[in-house]
Amino acid sequence: MLKKITNFMSWSTIQKVRYACLIMSYLRFFIFTRPFLKQCGSGSIIQKPLLITPEYIILGAGVIIMPGCRIEGISNYTGDDNYQPEIVFEDGVTLQQRCHITSASRLVICKNSLISFDVSIQDTDHEYQQLDMPIANQPLLINETRIGENCFIGSGVKIQAGTILGKQCIVGTNAVVRGVFPDFSVIVGIPAKIVKRYNPASERWEKTNAKGEFLSDL
């Protein structure tokens, strides 16, 4: 304990302030948020959320959700209360500032994935068939959405409903993603396409066509 106090006293003023802010964030989380979560593992924290529905959120161990995020489970929309939202962050997931996650079903971000700032992930779309009704008032369409383990999602990415990312995928900055993508894919663009995958035969990351087929095999 004495050694810890000595180390603390040796820090610069700004380091001490940052540490104090972190401690305050943990205290705020433990008092005002953690008791209301559906489940929470050890060492996890949600810092100053913009909006959350904690009763639909599951945190594994070591999950870090940075300030300004909106994490919303939708159980009722335009009078339809048949939705059963559940938003799962598995062990080691990091969600950076101002991310927006919306779910009316089960949406999973698998372990050790890093979601950069200003990312949107959702499993809902709006129906638009009724021409005499505002689109925002029409029913929700739900499609399974899942981020695989060890993925890296670049800043500003939009993950649309129905997207399934395999293990250890990399999504480039500002990509707009919809579809199913295999393990070890590099995905970029609007709309997002595969440009590279890990080839187990050569044990290298190799360029592909938009279908994910290795160019060396064509």
Per-residue pLDDT of the chain (218 residues; tens, 9 = 90+): 667 667 767 778 888 788 888 889 899 999 999 999 999 999 999 999 999 999 999 999 999 999 999 999 999 887 767 899 999 999 999 999 999 999 999 999 999 999 999 999 999 999 899 999 999 888 899 999 999 999 999 999 999 999 999 999 999 999 999 999 999 999 999 999 999 999 998 899 999 998 888 887 65
151 is written with which tokens?
A: 């993925």
CATH number of 37-217: 3.10.129.10, 1.10.730.10, 2.160.10.10, 3.30.420.610? 2.160.10.10
Q: Where are the domains of the chain?
A: 1-32, 37-217
pLDDT at 1: 66
Task: Map tokens 């913009």 to a residue.
Answer: 50
Instruction: Name 131's Cβ contacts closer than 8 Å, sequence gap at least 6.
Output: none
pLDDT at 148: 98
**Cα–Cα–Cα angle for 57, 62, 64, nearest 5°?**
65
The set of long-range contacts for 126-134, using a CB threshold of 8 Å and a minimum separation of 24, is: none
Which amino acid is it at 23? I
Nearest CA-CA partner of 90 in 149, 162, 171, 151: 149
3-state SS string over 37-105?
CCEECCCCEECCCCEECHHHEEECCCCEECCCCEEEECCCECCECCCCCEEEECCCCEECCCCEEEECC
φ and ψ of 183, to 5 deg: -55, 150
Task: Map tokens 């997207």 to a residue.
Answer: 163
Instruction: Name 157's Cβ contacts closer than 8 Å, sequence gap at least 6.
Output: 116, 119, 120, 171, 172, 173, 174, 175, 176, 177
Nearest CA-CA partner of 193 in 176, 168, 206: 176
pLDDT at 218: 56
CB 139 within 8 A of CB 156: no
CB 168 within 8 A of CB 148: yes
